[in-house]
Each structure stands twice: as C-alpha cells, then as structure tokens.
Amino acid sequence: MRSSVVHTLKGFNRRQWLVLAAFLLVLGFTTFHAYRLVSRAVYWHYHQDEQIQGWMSVRYVAHSYRVPPHILYQALGLPYRPPDRRPLQEIARAQNRSLDEVRAILMDAIVHARPPYPPPPPPPPDKGGPP
Amino acid sequence: MTEQLLGLLSNYGLPALFLILTIASAGIPLPVTLLLIACGSFVAQGEIGFWQVLVVSMVGAITGDQLGYFLGRWGGRRVVLRVTQRFGGALMIERAEAYARRWGGVGVFLSRWLLTPLGPWVNLTSGIAGYSWPRFLFWDVLGEALWVVLYVGLGKLFSDRVSALADLLGNLTWVIVGVLAAAILGWKLLRYFRGGDDAPEQAEKAEEATKAYTPATEG
C-alpha cells in the first residue's frame, strides 16, 4: 500500500504536484480556522462580556453590558440627550484621550453600576428619559 | 477599518450603508459581516428601522454585484481573449466558462450568503463566462436577500454579542470554504491515485462533453 503511494507520487507530473500542494495548503488553512472557531466558541461560552472596542458606540456598550446608558454618557462627560452615536474611537479622538483611557472610564462606570454596588439612579429629569 | 465604517454609518446613516455594501460587493474587501450584524444590533436598540436596513443593504449589495458582473462581461472578456491569444490556455478558459454556465445559478446563490468570500470572484467569472444576466440577477437577488436577512436577523437576535457573533461567523465561513475546496482537491487527488485522471483520452472526452453541453445551456 505504502509502496504504491510512493510509486504514484514518483509518477506525478508538475500539475499533479501543484494539486497536492494546494490540497495540503487548504487543509492547513481549514484546520487553522476550525481551531479558531472552536476555541472562540469555548471562549465566548465562558465570557459573558465582550471587550470594549473602538467601533462600539456608548449605547452599544450599555446594551452589551446591560447597564443604563446614561451612566456611561455621564462617565465620559457627554450629554445623554440627544444620544451620541459616534464610535468610541471617534469620541476618544475628540476628547484627546486614548481608547484605553476611554475603555478604563467605561469599565469603572460599569463595575459601579453592577452588584454589589447599589443600582444606579435614573437619568436626571432635565436631561430627559430614554430616547 | 471597522471603526471608520461604523463611524460613517453613525454619521451618514443608510446612504453610507448602501455605499459600503456596493463597494464591498463589487470586490473591495471590507468587514461587511460585522457591519450587517452591528446593523441588526442597532435595529434591536431602536436606532434604525429593520425594513429600512434590509432594503438598503439588499439594494447596495445587488448593485455592487452587478458592477462586478458587467466589469467581467465588458472588460474581463477582452482581457482574457488577449491573454489567451498571446500565451495560450484558451481550452482551459472555455472549460471554465462552460462550468460557470453549468453551475452558475447555484454558484451565484451560494456565494451570496454561505461562501461569501467567493462572491466578488463569482460575479467576475459569471460576467466573463457570459452567464445569462437575467438568471444571474435572479439568483443574486435570492442569495443577497437570504444573506441580509440572516446576518441582520442574527445581529438583532444576539444584539449584545456583536463581536462574538461576527468572530464566529467569520471563522465558520472560512471553514466551509476550506472544506469545500479540500473536498474538490481531495477528490482530484484520489483520482490521480486510482490512476488515469490526466489520460489524454479522458481530457478529450471532457472537452467534447463541454462543447456539446455549451450551446444547450446558453441563456
């Protein structure tokens, strides 16, 4: 069996070697993505919170972390109404902060809005309710 | 890149979504999977309307696909002819065109929503192969509708896990593409090991079959 495989391989022309090389490359590529798929699925299964990223808006972070949006707007010194829809990267740039700083501010506000801390107060009436 | 695209979406709304999807479907690689899922999440948060997103995304993606198709049909064919006249390989091109005509509809449909990385290539080769435009449009609309509803719907359903979902779907798509490519190449290799795939008689037979098939399927 093994000798017949070697014999066939020895008789391969250039095109057949190319097909074999492409097959091995595709196998490697597929294995890599399958591994990533499984490892990420396991990761997301055990991690409820997504890492805050530059593309996210303040409202999305509040929605994802299940905290009231006004506390995050307050933490960043932004008005609650009308809601600021810019991505965090743009907000950071406008405030001359790094994205890491913005992330740290938001995480601090999120931690203080969750147990064991008392629930955050409702948004101030002069700044309006949820839009 | 994602930040800039979502920035455009927040600043300019649906016209930006239309433009981004048109450009991406025409073949410029942009992270539109994340964009559509994020749109689904925005819909869940009440920031944009569900039907508006569906219609604008579909029209944008279909417009981009048509650009790719007609680029292949009007520009690509001339380039391919010039290359084959100078360097040969006309037979291979003919066979590829015949296959594109034969599997065109299924290929177009699947590359819209399941094998999305292949989409722009399928647009170009369908145009080059002269695949019937009404049929291309039919499968394109069907596939893009499914793609948009699927991704925006998933984004709406898992509106608080956009990154995770985009990450998993991105990897899953590449695994499906890889498994299909590995199956095709593996089948070819198996035929080599069993002997005779490249035998001249078989190549001639395949060529004859292709020629016989071509006139009957042209739309």
Full domain range(s) for residue A15: 2-46
Are residues A65 and A41 located together in one domain of the fold? Answer: no
Within 8 A by CB and 6+ apart from B183, the residues are none
Q: Is the pLDDT of residue B54 over 90?
A: yes
The complex's ipTM works out to: 0.72
A80: its two tokens: 């609650």
Split into its structural domains, chain A has a count of: 2
Report if residue A83 sits inside a domain.
yes
Q: Do B185 and A19 touch (CB under 8 A)?
A: yes
Are residues A91 and A120 located together in one domain of the fold? Answer: yes
Question: Which one-letter amino acid corresponds to residue B181?
Answer: A
Q: Do A20 and B189 touch (CB under 8 A)?
A: yes
Report if residue A51 sits inside a domain.
no
Contact (CB, 8 A) for B155 and B41: yes
Domain regions of chain B by residue span: 2-217
d(CA A107, CA B166): 22
Is the pTM higher than 0.90? The answer reads: no
Question: Which one-letter amino acid corresponds to residue B203?
Answer: A
Are residues A34 and A70 located together in one domain of the fold? Answer: no
Q: Do B160 and A41 touch (CB under 8 A)?
A: no
User: H helices within chain A, ranges in order?
Assistant: 2-10, 14-46, 58-65, 69-75, 88-94, 99-113
Are residues A19 and A74 located together in one domain of the fold? Answer: no
Q: Do B164 and A50 touch (CB under 8 A)?
A: yes
Tokens 């893009």 locate to B144
What value does the mean pLDDT take over residues B34-53?
A: 91
Are residues A69 and A105 located together in one domain of the fold? Answer: yes
User: What are the tens digits of pLDDT across the range B147-180?
Assistant: 999 999 999 998 888 888 888 888 888 899 899 8
Are residues A83 and A123 located together in one domain of the fold? Answer: yes
Least confident of A37-46, B19-28, B129-138, B182-191: A37-46
From chain B, pick out residues whose CB is under 8 angstroms from the CB of A22.
185
The answer to whether B118 contacts chain A (CB < 8 Å) is no
The chain B residue lying nearest A67, using CA atoms, is B160
